[in-house]
Structure 1
Amino acid sequence: MSESEDADGPPSRVGPIVFADETARQQLLEEGEVVTFRARERSTGETWWRRSRTGPKEGDVIVEEIGECDPRDIEQLEPYGDKSGFQSAREWRHAINALNDGLEPGYLYRVRPINR
């Protein structure tokens, strides 16, 4: 049973994921995996990604939750820094702050392309 499927019915819907930040997009496209911070919990499983909230589909991906994260604690970002696309966990934290209008606890997700 996939992560997006429940025992009582058909697969649940997984909304698209947006990569507005160029650094994260490049990590996904060039390295085939990106770890991303989201301020709110999101659905996981197979979906697609886009550059903006209303932009066109760019590719198919699978989204997996890593877990809760408080970006104010740099040590929580450091294990995933090399997969964020940023030069350091501190640079990543700066981007999280800018994209989310502050540093509040949220969630980390691993996103990988689906090769079809």
Structure 2
Amino acid sequence: MTHSNSAGTVGPIIFADTTARRQLLQEGEVVTLRKTTRTTGETWWRESRLGPKQGDVLVTEIGTVDPKQEESLAEYRELSGFESVRKWQAAIQKLNGSLPDTGHLYRVVTRE
């Protein structure tokens, strides 16, 4: 299900976590978990909410998961950039203040 709006505007995606940023920069793609749904499609990424544009990306939705369940993240762990699901969960918890009951996975790929 795509969440891009009718005007075609897709908000930028923020990668505050250094591990996820490194994965995107080095591999050209990253799987990221967001607490709430977000728009998908062509956009750009930045390191912070008000930071400058770092690059162009394509955001596609993978689906909804329970991030508290290791098996729901295990399939995507390698593309997350984290060494283990537990380290990914710790980063999710740090960025969100807690580990949410529901999360939304997105694949983000760099564009030229």
Fold-level similarity (TM above 0.5) = yes
Whether the 8 Å CA contact 2:63–2:104 is kept in 1: the answer is yes
Q: CA deviation at 1:3?
A: 7.7
2:28 paired residue among 10, 32, 35 = 32
2:109 match? 112
**Distance in 2 separating the partners of 1:88 and 1:21:** 15
Whether the 8 Å CA contact 2:3–2:39 is kept in 1: the answer is no
Runs of 4+ residues over 2 Å off in structure 1: 2-6
1:67 match? 63
Three-state SS of the structure 1 residue aligned to 2:75 is helix
Letter of the aligned partner of 2:110 in structure 1? Answer: P
Letter of the aligned partner of 1:100 in structure 2? Answer: N
Pairwise CA RMSD of aligned residues? 1.6
Q: CA deviation at 1:12?
A: 1.8
Q: CA deviation at 1:103?
A: 1.1
Structure 1: which 5+ runs fail to align? none
Whether the 8 Å CA contact 1:61–1:113 is kept in 2: the answer is yes
Structure 2: which 5+ runs fail to align? none
**Distance in 1 separating the partners of 2:10 and 2:3:** 10
Number of residue-to-residue matches in the alignment: 110
**Distance in 1 separating the partners of 2:63 and 2:45:** 20
**Distance in 1 separating the partners of 2:17 and 2:5:** 30
Amino-acid identity (%): 56
User: 2:11 matched to 1:22?
Assistant: no
How do 1:1-116 residues align onto structure 2 when only pairs under 5 Å count? 4=4, 11-104=7-100, 105-115=102-112
TM-score, normalised with respect to structure 1: 0.90
**Distance in 2 separating the partners of 1:107 and 1:3:** 12
Q: Deviation string for 1:58-97 (max 9, x for gaps)?
A: 0000000000011101100000000001001111011111
